[in-house]
Amino acid sequence: MSKPSNSAFSAPKGVPDYVPPASAEFVAVRDGLTRAARLAGYGHIELPIFEDTGLFARGVGESTDVVSKEMYTFADRGDRSVTLRPEGTAGVMRAVIEHALDRGQLPVKLSYSGPFFRYERPQAGRYRQLQQVGVEAIGVDDPALDAEVIAIADAGFRSLGLEGFRLEITSLGDDTCRPQYRELLQEFLFGLDLDEDTRRRAEINPLRVLDDKRPHIKEMTADAPLMLDHLSQEAKAHFEEVLAHLDALGVPYVVNPRMVRGLDYYTKTTFEFVHDGLGAQSGIGGGGRYDGLMEQLGGQPLSGIGFGLGVDRTVLALAAEGKTAGSPARCEVFGVPLGDEAKAQMVVIAAQLRAAGIRVDMAYGGRGVKGAMKAADRSGAKIALVLGERDIVDGVIGVKDLATGDQRQVQLGEVVTEVGAILADG
């Protein structure tokens, strides 16, 4: 992600560039996490990059740091307040309501990926433009669905070879027990010597105070009552059933009764994936159930559950384990034409190979053999195709194994079949 020293412009602070060859790993991680959702029947949804500011203020929660401190909000030319999306769930819920997806088969199962925007202090893996893969399952309150969503995330990480992560899970209760717990927690918090901002936060959403990372606040709230100890019978049974499904699926977890997510809409099942190799900012993804969100945004009183997984964070987690995903190779085959007539022929051969699903590049600009072969090596290709004017007359082409240096002649009419067979054999 380095830039030329003489560049007149730089990317905005906290916004990473992904350029080759590092971008190959980014794509592999994003697609690997997405594939796990596709295997479970989640359809793709493409969301707007910006939305009406009110959607996030109402859907994410005004007491959250995301809304109060981190949103990129501006007035457009029509003097409407719009915000670059800080997260995906509120936008998905808006789209589901607007397009009446909730009036069809339930649950509505959707997945998405792309950039999200939060104005926060940039640090390793925590960017102002962050990349996420998310899923949402809307319309059915079933502990088995909660377990499916969590298992998709777990499978996505493992498909990339990631091992040193941990799933932490809790329940934030439901409407039958949250109000009483809120009063209990506020009574405890108001008995503490809190600063004005923290006291105001305790009035709006007291759970946010338990998420405060400042050491003196963590110490003061060490004995605070925990939601997990005050669940209703229904919420407790729901949580126990989720854990039973995870056990049956072989998804390991740790119950963390002090967990608080950074968004207000979570209820019942709430979870986070953490990786200790990333230091203090250890989260690589998380999510939970949000049973009142659709109704809050003007839709039906339907439940939902989802997650957002950090692509940037997962790339860093793989690096912490000394692993990589994807291949930096730009192509599988590199064409080396020697002369103008050979170049014209190589252009056609490259097109034929691409039509067969093989990634092909070739030397342009009239390079000599030495320069063209260097380009072939740098491309990461397994095979170089070497074609000279004499070869055209003889109807053959050189097929060179770039790993061993071995080269043999193949009939021009058979090159696509031959190259395909070599690549299939690995």
Q: Which residue type does 378 have?
A: R
In the three-class reduction of DSSP (H, G, I as helix; E, B as strand; rest coil), residue 385 is classed as: strand
User: Rounded to whole angstroms, how far apart are CA atoms 298 and 287?
Assistant: 22
DSSP classification of residue 230 = G
Half-sphere exposure of 135 (CA within 13 A, CB side): 27
269 token code pair? 């099942």
Q: Read out DSSP for 360-382? A: EEE--SS--HHHHHHHHHHHT-S
Residue 132 in marked binding region: yes
Residue 88 in marked binding region: yes
Residue 136 in marked binding region: yes
User: Rounded to whole angstroms, how far apart are CA atoms 82 and 50?
Assistant: 6
Strands 254-255 and 73-75: unpaired
**CB environment 151-163: b (16+ within 10 A), e (fewer):** bbbbbbbeebebe
With the CA atoms of 208, 211, 214 and 216 taken in that order, what torsion angle do they form, in degrees rounded to the nearest 10?
80
79 token code pair? 């003097």
Answer whether 198's CB lies under 8 Å from 212's CB: yes
Residue 261 in marked binding region: yes
Look-up: residue for tokens 């491309």? 379
Annotation: binding site for L-histidine: 87-89, 118, 132, 136, 261, 265-266
Annotation: binding site: 87-89, 118, 132, 136, 261, 265-266
